Chain A
Amino acid sequence: MAYKWLPRWFFQLASPRWCYQITGQLIPWFAAISGLLVVSGIIWGLAFAPPDYQQGNSFRIIYLHVPSAILAQSFYMLMALAGAIGLIWKMKVADMVAKSVAPIGAALAVLALLTGAIWGKPTWGSWWVWDARLTSMLVLLFLYLGVIALNSAIESETTAAQSTAVLALVGLVNIPIIKYSVEWWNTLHQPATFKLTEKPAMPPEMWVPLLVMVIGLYMMFGLALMLRLRNEILLRERRASWVKELLAVKA
């Protein structure tokens, strides 16, 4: 089913071999740039950005918490999108991308939750609080875990890819509904406005390092995704001649 309005490179993407080669070229760049951004972002955020007038120095964890939360959510969308492409156009590479994203997204969600907890302890005294953002992130983690569990429970790769794609899409539709209902639930039970992420206009000294971290983490986890994807490609295409040649050379 080829649609004329789709650019040619879209269908070139469908070749696992081409994907493998392209990612091979991109990886060194991603590694270098992401390393630079993340390291500088962390140093900037931890050492040089001004302390928050309300929370002092403990808020600095947002330089890790906010980017990981953003990434966890956008990687889910990537997973659902890749799954949809694999489902509609029967592209194996899209299936492989979706499968590779899932554990990374789950790890990001865990990171967001952990950094949220680290933020919480000095700020409100306990390691956990049932606020809207953290609860939503927890539910996002459950959605990821569901996809991972379903994928590992089904033996046939094709069936697993298609089933998890459907599940990811169902989850995608539900995410805004869940977020809205959790926020609404939160206002019921916490009249005190304790918005963790609602910040009045942030001065540039604060949000520029944040932006650096966001971009840096995107590249770093994009790198992780490419590494996982390459492994997945080699595994699934192991009977293809180009893989055999490649592995023979390496051996």
Chain B
Amino acid sequence: MNNKDLSASGLFVATFRRDLVLAFRRKSELVNPLIFFLMVITLFPIGVSPEPDFLAELAPGLLWVAALLATLLSMESLFKADFEDGSLEQLLLSPQPLFMVVLAKVSAHWLMSGLALTLVAPVLAVMLFLPFEGMPGLMLSLLLGTPTLSLIGAIGAALTVGLRRGGVLISLLVLPLYIPVLIFGSSAVQAAITGLPLGGYFALLGALLALALALAPLATGAALRISVSG
């Protein structure tokens, strides 16, 4: 590895750690996506019907939709603080590849949102009477799918970082792009319940993740430069 590679991976690690440290120092915000996840799930038995059979049928899609919305809600914080204190400008003036920085930030963000949701999901699945056979499918599909959600969400966050109330707009921009992940993710859980093989679903989710890993940070970087130049 020459000097450039060393400093690029060093930048990844430094940014990753910085974002984790910042997230932990804002402890109150850490739990918000999780609480939202729980609350959305709770709305359905209350608003529609608490019948176990009904909820069990709803569960795969509902868990996925709720996780998706919770991720969306937390996307605004990805770049906002850095934009406001001038750190984003400094980030863009780095001679190091922006790709690395974006990837580091999204990874740290995913740990606090997508991964946390994945770990909490079984508890909520029990509340929705998801059959036990569906659990591995649920966790694996969320594990594979939520990073893609974070990566795509980052594009929306970058496009709107300069706007005063960009929060709702992010959802509008990003939701259509979430649909493929939602379809394959919830279908994977359904398939797990009915005992069908899951390999194909995970391959598809994996392919989406690979595509997102390759392309989303590029779009995010371009969007960041555009938003800051205004």
C-alpha spacing A166/B177, complex, angstroms: 14
| Segment of A36-44, A49-57, A113-121, A144-152 engaged in the interface with chain B | A144-152
Asked if B183 and A143 make an inter-chain contact with CB atoms under 8 angstroms apart, the answer reads: no
Asked if A166 and B223 make an inter-chain contact with CB atoms under 8 angstroms apart, the answer reads: yes
Partner of B227, one of A142, A163, A173: A163
Q: Which of A40-78 contact B (CB under 8 A)?
A: none
Asked if B219 and A170 make an inter-chain contact with CB atoms under 8 angstroms apart, the answer reads: yes
CB neighbours (8 Å) of B227 from chain A are 159, 163
- Chain A 132-170 interface mask (CB, 8 Å, partner B; 1/0): 000000010011011001100111101100110011011
CB neighbours (8 Å) of A173 from chain B are 215
Partner of A171, one of B166, B177, B208, B223: B177
In the assembled complex, how far is the CB of residue B78 from the closest CB belonging to chain A, in whole angstroms?
16
Asked if A184 and B208 make an inter-chain contact with CB atoms under 8 angstroms apart, the answer reads: no
C-alpha spacing A178/B211, complex, angstroms: 14
In the assembled complex, how far is the CB of residue B28 from the closest CB belonging to chain A, in whole angstroms?
28
The answer to the question of A181 belonging to the interface, with a C-beta cut-off of 8 Å to chain B, is yes
**B162, B176, B229 interface centre (most CB from chain A within 10 Å):** B176
The answer to the question of A231 belonging to the interface, with a C-beta cut-off of 8 Å to chain B, is no
CB neighbours (8 Å) of A162 from chain B are 226
With contact pairs A170-B155, A174-B176 given, residues A163 and B169 touching in the complex (Cβ less than 8 Å): no
Partner of B159, one of A155, A156, A166: A166
C-alpha spacing A180/B15, complex, angstroms: 36
The answer to the question of A182 belonging to the interface, with a C-beta cut-off of 8 Å to chain B, is yes
In the assembled complex, how far is the CB of residue A179 from the closest CB belonging to chain B, in whole angstroms?
9
CB nearest neighbor in B for A188: B187
The answer to the question of A177 belonging to the interface, with a C-beta cut-off of 8 Å to chain B, is yes
Majority-rule SS of B interface residues: helix
Asked if A146 and B215 make an inter-chain contact with CB atoms under 8 angstroms apart, the answer reads: no
The answer to the question of B222 belonging to the interface, with a C-beta cut-off of 8 Å to chain A, is yes
Asked if A146 and B162 make an inter-chain contact with CB atoms under 8 angstroms apart, the answer reads: no
Majority-rule SS of A interface residues: helix
CB neighbours (8 Å) of A139 from chain B are 176, 179
The answer to the question of B163 belonging to the interface, with a C-beta cut-off of 8 Å to chain A, is yes
Partner of A181, one of B183, B219, B226: B183
CB neighbours (8 Å) of A178 from chain B are 176-177, 179-180
Asked if B215 and A185 make an inter-chain contact with CB atoms under 8 angstroms apart, the answer reads: no
CB neighbours (8 Å) of B223 from chain A are 163, 166
Asked if A174 and B187 make an inter-chain contact with CB atoms under 8 angstroms apart, the answer reads: no
In the assembled complex, how far is the CB of residue B52 from the closest CB belonging to chain A, in whole angstroms?
23
C-alpha spacing A174/B229, complex, angstroms: 26
- Chain B 154-196 interface mask (CB, 8 Å, partner A; 1/0): 0100011011001001001101110110011001000000000
Asked if B176 and A171 make an inter-chain contact with CB atoms under 8 angstroms apart, the answer reads: yes
C-alpha spacing A162/B224, complex, angstroms: 11
CB neighbours (8 Å) of A188 from chain B are 187
Asked if A150 and B160 make an inter-chain contact with CB atoms under 8 angstroms apart, the answer reads: yes
Asked if B183 and A184 make an inter-chain contact with CB atoms under 8 angstroms apart, the answer reads: yes
Known: A154-B162, A166-B155. 14 other contacts (CB 8 A): A149-B169, A149-B173, A153-B160, A153-B166, A156-B230, A159-B227, A159-B230, A162-B226, A163-B159, A163-B227, A166-B226, A169-B219, A173-B215, A184-B183
10 nearest A-B pairs in the assembled complex, by CB-CB distance:
A159-B230, A181-B180, A142-B176, A162-B226, A146-B173, A181-B183, A185-B183, A156-B230, A139-B176, A177-B180
CB-defined A-B contacts under 8 Å, sample of 14:
A139-B179, A153-B169, A154-B162, A154-B163, A155-B230, A159-B230, A167-B173, A170-B155, A173-B215, A174-B177, A181-B183, A182-B183, A185-B183, A185-B187
